[in-house]
A and B are shown apart, each in its own frame.
Chain A
Amino acid sequence: MDTVLEAAGLGKQVSSPEGTLAILTDVTLAIRRGETVAVMGASGAGKSTLLALLAGLDESTSGTVTLAGSELTALDEDGRAALRARHVGFVFQSFHLVPSLTALENVMLPLELAGRRDARGAALEVLGRVGLAGRVGHYPRQLSGGEQQRVAIARAFVTRPDVLFADEPTGNLDAATGERIMDLLFGLNAETGATLVLVTHDLALASRCGRVIRLDAGRIVGG
C-alpha cells in the first residue's frame, strides 16, 4: 500500500515568557492509504499540535509533511487550503457546526466551498447515511450532542476525503453515544477507503485502530 501522509523530523517551537518551548520534537512517521491510526498521549503531549501540522492547519518550525504526494511544508496558506479542500476531512471534539446553518447547510458547506453544483443532493445522501434524513432542516441547537457529531461526520465524509482527521471525536459524548459514533466513523471509513488519523485519550477507541502512535512531551515514544 502507498504512503498517503508522511512526516520527517517534524518540530514545533513557540516562544513564551519563559523562553522557547518545544511542543513537538523530531517526529517522523508514515501512514499508508486506508490505514487507521490513533495518536495517544497525556494532556499537553502535543497530540493536537501534531494533528494541526499533519493537516496543514499550522506551520512547523522544522521538518516536512507530505500529504497525498504534495509537500505541505513547502506551500503557503492558500496552497495548503487548496490541498485540504481536495484531500482532507475533519471531525472535532466540539463538533464545530455553524450555528446559523441547518444540518443540511452545514454538510453542504465544504461542497459549496469547492464550488460543487450537486452540493444539496450529495449532502442529503450522506445525511441519510448517518441516519439524519428526518432532521436535515434542524439547526445545531435543536440537535443532541450525538446528532451534532453525526452531522459533523457527514460533513467530513461528504467530500470523500483521502485522509480524515478526528480530534477526540467522542470527548463530549456519553459512553453509549460515543460508541455509536465510533461505529459510524469506522464504518464509513471502511466503506470509502479513507485514511483515519484519530487523536484520543480513550484506550478502547484506540484499540479499534490498526496502529497506535504514543506521544510524550512532544516525542514519539511508541507505535
Chain B
Amino acid sequence: MSSLPFVLRSLLRDLKSGELAVLLLALLVAVASLTAVGFFTSRVGRAVSQQAGEVLAADLRLESAREIATSYDDEAGRRGLAVARVMSMPSVVFHGEDSSLVALRAVGAGYPLRGRLRIADEPFGEPRATGSIPQPGEAWADSRLLARLGVPVGAKLSVGSHEVRVTQVLDYRPDQGAGFGDLSATLMINLADIAATGLVQPGSRVSRALLFAGDTDDVAAFRDWLKANKKPGERLQAIEDASPQIRASSDRAGRFLSLASLVSVLLAAVAVAMAARRYAARHLDNVALMKCMGASQGFVLRQTVLQLVAIAVLVTIAGTAVGYVAQAGLAWLLRDLIRADLPPPAATTAWLGLVTSVTILVGFALPPLLQLKRVPPARVLRRNLEPPPLRYAAVYLFAIGAVLALLYWLVRDPTLVSVVAIGIGGTFLALALGGWLLVKALAPLRRGVGVAWRYGLANIARRGRDSVVQIVAFGLGIMVLLLLALVRDDLLENWRASLPAGAPNYFMINIRPDEGEAIEAFFGERGLPPTELVPLVRARLTAINEVPVSEIRFQGDRAQDFVEREANLTWAASLRDDNRLISGTWWRAGDGGGPRVSVEQEYAERLGLKLGDTVTYDVAGEPVTAKITSLREVRWDSFQPNFFMVFSPGVLEDVTGTLITSVHVRPDQRPALVDLVRQFPEVTIIDLDTLLSQVRDVMDKAALAVQYVFLFTLAAGLTVLLAAVQATRDERRYESAMLRTLGASRRVVFQGVAAEFTALGLLAGVLAAAGATVAGYFLAREVFNLEYAPDPWVWIAGIAGGALLVGVAGVLAARSVVTQPPAATLRQAQ
C-alpha cells in the first residue's frame, strides 16, 4: 500500500477542514518563539565573532594602570611592528552647568591598528569609516553623550581644565566590544591633549594600553619577548584571550532569553497535546472504517507518523519565518545595548525550528495519535468500542523526556538544566495547585448568581482539569508581565524610598592626597556638608596563603574577574557605621598585631578566603602581606566609600594613592561642582542620580526585551484556550442546542459562555497577581533586603487584564458554536 500520496491528500483535507488549526497554531507559536530568540542570539554571537579579530584594535595589547615604558615601543619598532598608544579613564565633561559621566579615551597616532573607526556628521546619523583620529583640540563624541547634554556637533566641552570642540559623532570603535556595552558614553580625544586636561595625576584611575600589530610570526615572537620582559601589573592580551570573555557574556544573555521562550514552548506543547487528543478522538471512526476496508495497523502507524512529519516540515518553515521577523523586533528593542551592527543569523539556527517542532510533536502529539493504530475495526458496528486506554505514565514520561531534551539542547549545562527543570516544574505545580483551589472555590458562588453565570461557573467546575490548565497557562503569562512591568518598578521605588534623605548623591574620586585639605576647605567655603576623605590604594592580588593566584582555580567568572582586576584597598583605624563585623575581631590602635586585613564577606566567599588566611598584594611593585582577622558585612547602599579590603593602619600609608569621598549636593549647590572641577581638574565627579538613571535605562530595555519574549507566552496561553474550546466544541454545541430548545434565548446562552471565560480570566488574573506578589515579596526580602508593600495595581491590572483577555478570546473562539440553529445540532447529535 503506498502511503505518501494518500497521507498528503488526507493531510490536505484535514488542513482544509480546520481539524488541525489549533495544533498548527500552537506549534507555530512554539517554533516562532524559540527561533526568534535563537536568530537574535545568533546575530549577536556572529557580531562577537566577526569583531573578535579587531576587538583589541590590535593583534596584541599591553595594559597597565601605570605609565608604560617607551622601551617597549622601541623594541616593537625594531621588530617591524606597528605601535599605538591609548589611555582611558572615567571622567566628567561639562557644557555650561550640564555635566555627564564619560569614558574618556585619548588615542595616539596609528590607532586603531586593526579595524576602523566609524564616524557620522550628526547624532545617530549615517556612519562612515575613517582612517583618522581627532586632532588636538578636537573631540569625537558618542551620540548618547550629545543627546544627554543636549548639544550639537560643534559644541565645546570642558574636559578637566582643557576645552575641546566636538567635530564628529563617534559611531563605532573596534575595541568597544560587541555584546552588551558599558554604561558611559565615549568621548575620544587626541592623546596629545591629555596633559592639558590635568586629569592624569599619580594614583588617578587611568588605564593605559600599548597596541601592537604586524605579521603573525613577528607578533608571536614579540609576544614571547613581552611575556618575559613585562613588569608586574602589566597585562598582556592577545585576541585568543579577549574573545571568550565577550562571548561568555553574550552567551549568558542568549541563554536567559532562550529559557524565557521555553516557557511559551511548554504551554504551546500542552495545547498541542490537547489538540492531538481531540484529533485522535475525532478520527477513531475514520480509522476503524479504514481498517474495515483493509488498512493494516502498520499503514495507520505510517500514516500518523508521515502526517506528523509533514506537519513538522510545514510548521518549521512557517514558524521560522515568523521567528525571523520577530527577532528583528527584539534587535530593535535592544539596539542601544548592543553596540554593534548585527550581521544576519547563521543559517544553522533554522535547525532550532525543526528540532522544536519535532520534539513537541514526538513528546506531546505522538502518544495520543498512536492510539489510532489500536482502534478495533469492529467499532464500525459498535461505536462504544474504544482503543485500549492511554498509559498516562508512559505519555508523561515521553513529554518530560522531550522537554528535558529540548532544555538540554538549549543550555548544554546539566547543572543548569536540573535547576531550571526543578524551578519550572515547581512553578507549574504551585500554579496548578493554586488554579485547582480557585476552581474548587467557585462552587459555593453558583447559588447566588443568575442563570447565565451559573451555567458558566458550572462549566468551569465540570471541565475541572482543562480549566486548571487554562488558568495556569494564562496565569503564568500574566504573572511574568506583571512582575516585569509593575513589581520591578515597585522594587526600585521601594529601594529609593529606603535610602535616607541626604544620602550622598555624588562620588568624587582621583583626589590627590596633598589636595585633601584644600578640598575640605573648598567644601566649607561653598556650604557643602563636611566630608570624610578616604584613602584608596590600587594593587593586584598576587597570592593567597603564599600560593600564587595563577596556581589557584577559582569558582565562577566573577571570582576570576576579581582576581584579574586591580583591587582598591584602604585602611582604617575604626569600623565604619555602615559596616558590621560578622566574625573575627577589629584592631585597636597600637596593638602591635602586624599587618592585618578585614574582608567583606561576599568577596571572601567568592575567593574562598577564611579567617587566618594571608593575602599578598603587589602594591606599586612591593609585595604586602596581611592576615585576615575579620569578616564584615557592608551596607553598600549607604553610598559612602566602602571597600572589600580594609587594612589595619600602618601598612599602606607610605604608598602613593588617592582619596575618595561622597557628598550630598542640593540642586542649588550644583554650580559649586563646576567650580570644583575647574579648580581641581583631576578630580572625577560621578553623579549617582545620572548613574542610577542609566542603570535604570539599561534595566528598562532588558525588561522590555524579556517582556517581548513573554508575549509569546500569552500567545501560547491563547492556543491552550483555543485547544480547550475546540476539545469541548461538540459538547458545547449540544448543550447550547438543548438550552435553546428549553427556551433560553441566544443572548442567555451567549452570556453563559461569556461568564465562563470571564470567570476563567478572573481566576487566571488572581493567580497571576498572587504569584507576582509572592515573587515580589521573595525578591524584596531575600534578594534585595527590602520591605515589600504589595501593590494594589498588580491585583487590579492582573484581574482586569485576565478577565478581559480570556473573556474576549474565549467568547470569540466559542461564538460559532452557540450561534448554530438548535435543530441542526440535535439532528447531527443523533
Contact = CB atoms under 8 A, between A and B. Distances in A.
A114 B292 contact: no
Interface string A113-136: 111000000000000000000000
A86 B296 CA distance: 12
Interface residues of A, number: 30
A98 B289 contact: yes
Given A100-B14, A100-B17, A113 B6 contact: yes
Contacts, number: 75
Interface stretch (A75-83, A178-186, A189-197, A214-222): A75-83
Interface residues of B, number: 28
Nearest to B6: A112
A12 to B, nearest CB: 11
Contacts of B743: none
B293 A109 contact: yes
Interface in A81-116: 81-86, 88, 90, 92, 96, 98, 100-101, 105, 109-110, 112-115
Contacts of B291: 81
A105 B299 CA distance: 19
B1 A90 contact: no
Contact of B13 (A48, A105, A113, A159): A105
Contacts of B292: 55, 57, 84, 90
Among the interface residues B294, B299, B377, which one has the most CB atoms of the partner chain A within 10 A? B294
A167 interface: yes
B186 to A, nearest CB: 64
B382 interface: yes
A213 B265 CA distance: 60
B239 interface: no
B789 interface: no
Given A90-B292, A98-B289, A100-B14, A113 B299 contact: yes
A82 B294 contact: yes
A52 interface: yes
A92 B297 CA distance: 22
A57 B293 CA distance: 10
B19 interface: yes
A205 interface: no
Given A100-B17, A105-B13, A58 B378 contact: yes
B295 interface: yes
A81 B296 contact: yes
Contacts of B441: none
A113 B377 contact: no
B376 interface: yes
A68 interface: no
Among the interface residues A57, A83, A90, A105, which one has the most CB atoms of the partner chain B within 10 A? A57
B294 A84 contact: yes
Interface string B5-45: 01001000110110100000000000000000000000000
A81 B290 CA distance: 9
A82 B296 contact: yes
Nearest to A172: B830
Given A114-B1, A115-B2, A81 B377 contact: yes
Given A98-B286, A105-B13, A114-B1, A57 B294 contact: no
B285 interface: yes
A209 interface: no
A3 B43 CA distance: 74
B380 A90 contact: yes
B263 to A, nearest CB: 35
A33 B381 CA distance: 24
Given A100-B17, A105-B13, A113 B381 contact: no
B590 interface: no
A84 B378 CA distance: 13
B295 A57 contact: no
Contacts of A83: 294
A112 B381 CA distance: 23
B294 A113 contact: yes
A85 B294 contact: yes
B381 A167 contact: yes
A57 B1 contact: no
Contacts of A22: none
B286 A51 contact: no
The 8 residue pairs across chains A and B that have the minimum distance between CB atoms: A85-B294, A78-B296, A57-B378, A110-B293, A58-B378, A84-B294, A100-B17, A57-B377
5 contacts: A81-B296, A90-B380, A100-B13, A110-B294, A113-B290
Given A57-B380, A78-B297, A113-B299, 7 more contacts: A48-B381, A57-B381, A78-B296, A90-B292, A113-B295, A114-B294, A115-B2
